Amino acid sequence: MSYQSKFLIGLTISILCLVGVVAAGNDLLPTTFHPVTDVYPGWQLGVQLWTFHTFTFFEAIDKAASLGVSWVEAFPGQKLGADYPEVNFDHNLAAELRKKVKEKLAEYGLYLSAYGVVDMPNDESKCRQVFDFAKDMGIGVIVAEPPDEAMDLVDRLCKEYQIKVAIHNHPEPSHYWNPDKVVEAVKGRSDYLGSCADLGHWPRSGVGPLEALKKLQGRIVSLHFKDLNEFGNKEAHDVPWGTGVLDMLAVLKELQRQKFTGPISIEYEFNWESSIPEIRQCIAAYNREVAQLKKPAWKDVFKEDLSNAVYKAGSWEFKDGVLSVLGEGDIWTKEKYKDFILDLEFKLDNQTNSGVFIRTGDITDGNWLHTAIEVQILDSYGKTVPDRQDCGAIFDCLAPSKNMVKKPGEWNRYTITCKANKIDVVLNGQQIIDMDLNLWKEAHKNPDGTDNKFNTAYKDMPRSGNIGLQYHGHPIWFRNIKLKEL
């Protein structure tokens, strides 16, 4: 089993146990937790939270979640949150605050891929404190710039904890600005030691990223992925990927050739207060280039121009990564889907009523509602005992096990898994639906004897069909709408 697989299994279990959910392993369907939605399996595209260092850790997590990534790389020293003005996120964080961090990550379906750049001195007690923190938080990579005299200690602790240390390269004249120095530092040492390849700092020092990656073959543990407006200028700044000096496709091809797996962190060091639109451009460029190397594991359900959607013209629009309703009518995929994982986020207004339709038989038929399964969206925040028409329900057929919807104005995350006769729904990190369609044997009748509105027994519902988002006369917003076919 690869390091990546071991890390994902351990991380999933450690985080999800905190919210009462146990996952048996990364190879199982994500029916009890939010999945990793990487387009290239093993390449953990995420955000280094230094990108949002002018905000608190919790604010930075919200921003990372808005981008639809599954991974974040934390750094020491970021203010934790507005409720903890004197507390920094680092390896000294108290146990009760670590738990709050884990719960926040699990709610969004985010995972800590790495931590750094952190001091790693030739002091065993101080190094152990960092390793203990990483182990507790499920972090698989520590990013550091250890002094030469600490390398034996660091290597020994890496092997003991089975956690990797990636040597970071700040620009010249820092100790590791030249990749040859990193090669020298890790020579003869375990595979747990390698490079955190900062693709922006190398060009600032006059080093070509592609050539540096080739020198470090087999030792690349993680990347701080960047594109700059100039080469060889220490004052150069970040630009959206593919618009600067970096040969992005060549770099990705080299990573593929080396069979790299691990964190690829977006560290965007420009327009600090308003970098989200540019980071979206980076992610879009990454997705386009990866698609030239390998068929993406996950895809966007709707294109930004909605050319693959069926809807009334002018009634829906994509803007700044958010799909919102402007007029009337539902929006549908042109494509039909059978077995799949659908992952999306939605935001409600007061009294919003909407839904997600899956496996809809014929959307041109005026009677389509009776060949559609609806996962309900509703402003039922605060309701103690949810029923078959509350948020998270399979509408009119099965109530959610728990009311997990957030109050209006906050983003919620759905993961809906359809596999043959099974429908599973996770809302905000909690499994709320575990449904066997074959138990619904009669039209208008639920297994518990209650009535439903459908002319078709759920066991006879189509097992393939269109996916739709409902407009029911109320404001509704969606983002990060992704799908993986099974």
pLDDT at 30: 82
What is the arithmetic mean of pLDDT over 354-359? 98
Judgement on whether residues 388 and 260 belong to the same structural domain of the protein: no
Q: What domain range includes position 446?
A: 309-485
pLDDT at 300 over 60: yes
pLDDT at 28: 65
Judgement on whether residues 253 and 348 belong to the same structural domain of the protein: no
pLDDT at 27 over 90: no
Euclidean distance between the first and final Cα of the chain, in Å?
22
Q: What amino acid occupies position 257?
A: R
- Rounded Cα distance between 269 and 267, Å, is 6
Q: What amino acid occupies position 132?
A: D
Residue-wise DSSP of 49-91: GGGGTTS-HHHHHHHHHHTT-SEEEE-TTEEEETTEEEEEEST
pLDDT tens readout for residues 6-15: 444 444 434 3
Judgement on whether residues 74 and 198 belong to the same structural domain of the protein: yes
**Which one is predicted more confidently, 11 or 218?**
218
Question: What band does 17 get if pLDDT is binned at 50, 70 and 90?
Answer: very low
CATH number of 183's domain: 3.20.20.150
pLDDT at 366: 85
Provide the domain count of the chain.
2
pLDDT at 283: 98
pLDDT at 304 over 60: yes
Q: What amino acid occupies position 270?
A: F
- Sequence-ordered list of residues with C-beta below 8 angstroms from that of 395, at least 6 positions apart, any chain: 355, 374, 375, 376, 388, 389
CB 123 within 8 A of CB 155: no
pLDDT at 4 over 50: no
pLDDT at 280: 97
pLDDT tens readout for residues 127-141: 999 999 999 999 999
Domain boundary among 267, 297, 327: 297
Judgement on whether residues 116 and 223 belong to the same structural domain of the protein: yes
pLDDT tens readout for residues 191-210: 999 999 999 999 999 999 99
pLDDT at 26 over 80: no
Judgement on whether residues 144 and 15 belong to the same structural domain of the protein: yes
Judgement on whether residues 404 and 475 belong to the same structural domain of the protein: yes
pLDDT at 3: 39
pLDDT tens readout for residues 374-414: 999 999 999 999 999 999 999 999 999 999 999 999 999 99
Q: Does residue 304 lie in a domain region?
A: no
pLDDT at 9: 42
pLDDT tens readout for residues 93-120: 999 999 999 999 999 999 999 999 999 9
* Dihedral angle computed from the Cα positions of residues 74, 166, 25 and 288, in that order, rounded to the nearest 10 degrees: 80
- Sequence-ordered list of residues with C-beta below 8 angstroms from that of 35, at least 6 positions apart, any chain: 70, 109, 341, 343, 415, 484
pLDDT tens readout for residues 120-130: 999 999 999 99
Encoding tokens for residue 74? 């934390």
Q: Does residue 73 lie in a domain region?
A: yes
What is the arithmetic mean of pLDDT over 246-264? 98
pLDDT at 8: 44
pLDDT at 303 over 90: yes
Q: Does residue 87 lie in a domain region?
A: yes
Q: Does residue 302 lie in a domain region?
A: no
Q: Does residue 328 lie in a domain region?
A: yes
pLDDT tens readout for residues 257-274: 999 999 999 999 999 999
Residue-wise DSSP of 245-306: S--HHHHHHHHHHTT--EEEEE---SSTTS-HHHHHHHHHHHHHHHHHHS--SSEESS-TT-
What is the arithmetic mean of pLDDT over 135-156? 98
Place of tokens 């980076």: 282
pLDDT at 429 over 50: yes
Q: Does residue 194 lie in a domain region?
A: yes
CATH number of 404's domain: 2.60.120.560
How much is the mean pLDDT over the chain? 94
Share of the chain above pLDDT 70, in %: 94
- Count Cβ neighbours within 10 Å for each residue of 167-194 and write b for 16 or more, e otherwise: bbbebeeebbbbbeebeebbeebeebbb
Judgement on whether residues 117 and 220 belong to the same structural domain of the protein: yes
pLDDT at 87: 98
Beta strands 340-348; 476-485: pairing state: antiparallel
pLDDT tens readout for residues 317-345: 999 999 999 988 999 999 999 999 999 99
What is the arithmetic mean of pLDDT over 221-227? 98
pLDDT tens readout for residues 80-91: 999 999 999 999
